[in-house]
Amino acid sequence: MNNTFITMFFLVLLGYCLKKAGILKQNSGEAMVDLILYATLPATCLLSISRTAITARSALTLIGCALLVPLLVLFVLSIFSRNLALTPDTKSVLLASVTATNLGFFLFPYFEATFGLEALGRLAVYDIGNAFYAYSLTYYVAASGKKEGAVSIRDSLQKLVRLPGLWASLLGLVISLMGWQLPVWMTDCLEPLAKANSFLAMTALGVFLNLRLEKIPALTAGLAVRVLAGLSIGFLVGWVLGLGGMEQRIVFMAPAMPIGMVVLIYSAREKLNTDFAGQIISLSILTALVITPLLLRVPF
């Protein structure tokens, strides 16, 4: 067990223990999420991508993989889920879980601690495609389980264009491709925010962690297909495209990371099975805590 895993596990445990002690509450976690989304994560994306030497072709490949792999995993899970005894509002939550992955809160800290800013920058480029799905396809899939009412993603798309992390990533990508550098004064302002991202992200995951699990067979089966299909399809897509090194690792690992919190948000908004959403997200966090240190050791 390396120091990175110990640190990340401790921070998640810290957040969970502070919640159980009543020091941090649900609204505390929501405030931390807002701070991450609007401050520390944009700073992390801008710094890491702008310092990454990446070509336009590599950037388009990573973003394209972020759009292609979830679609293929969704297709596999939709076939498998036919054999699961799930109500429509629960099934739509399960299917939506493969279209939004928690990279900024979970995998970013691991990549930064293990591989450095160059690798983190490439992961942040991949996350551009992931962010697009989180506020478009994920909502469509989740809303398919509504009992009534038309599906509209207008509000979600408005959230997408107001997402600072997306614009920070795009700005960082432009700076990298043009060979520019951020001004020293801006770097000095952004670095303290970026350094706080890992602490806030992992602690916030602990606050939202829910160990009261029900429907264990459905949770386990659905999550197993999500993780195994995600890893397999990610590897195959990278192999077919001839990716290597860090890009192959990103496309391989990203689909198996924890489910994005937007799945729970959409479940609550559309009156779906929020208990199932919270439980499968929590179980995906626990699963990722176990498998991520192992996946980081896979040679590419």
Q: What is the per-residue pLDDT across 112-134, written as a single tens digit (0 to 9) for each? A: 889 988 899 999 999 998 888 88
Q: Count other Cβ atoms within 10 Å, centred on residue 76.
A: 17
Q: What is the CATH number of the domain that holds 46?
A: 1.20.1530.20
The answer to whether residue 217 sits within a structural domain is yes
- pLDDT tens digit string along 224-256? 989 999 999 999 999 999 998 999 999 999 999
Residue with the bigger pLDDT between 216 and 93: it is 93
The answer to whether residue 261 sits within a structural domain is yes
Give the model's pLDDT for residue 26: 73
The answer to whether residue 2 sits within a structural domain is no
| Reported confidence tier of residue 6, pLDDT bands at 50, 70, 90 | confident
Asked whether the predicted pLDDT for residue 88 surpasses 70, the reply is yes
The answer to whether residue 7 sits within a structural domain is no
The answer to whether residue 18 sits within a structural domain is no
Residue with the bigger pLDDT between 98 and 37: it is 98
Asked whether the predicted pLDDT for residue 177 surpasses 60, the reply is yes
The answer to whether residue 272 sits within a structural domain is yes
How many domains, the chain? 1
Q: Count other Cβ atoms within 10 Å, centred on residue 82.
A: 8
Give the model's pLDDT for residue 72: 95
- 16-20, 62-66, 154-158: segment of lowest average pLDDT: 154-158
- List 259's β-bridge partners, or say none: 101
- Mean per-residue pLDDT over the chain, rounded: 86
Q: Where are the alpha helices (DSSP H) in the chain?
A: 3-20, 26-35, 41-50, 56-80, 88-96, 108-115, 117-134, 137-143, 154-161, 164-178, 184-208, 216-240, 245-253, 262-269, 274-295
Average pLDDT over residues 54-71: 94
- pLDDT tens digit string along 130-172? 888 887 788 888 877 665 554 555 666 676 677 788 889 899 9
The answer to whether residue 300 sits within a structural domain is no
Question: Could you tell me the pTM of the whole model?
Answer: 0.84
**Is the Cβ–Cβ distance between 77 and 227 less than 8 Å?**
no
**Is the Cβ–Cβ distance between 276 and 215 less than 8 Å?**
yes
The answer to whether residue 181 sits within a structural domain is yes
What range does the domain containing 164 cover?
A: 23-294
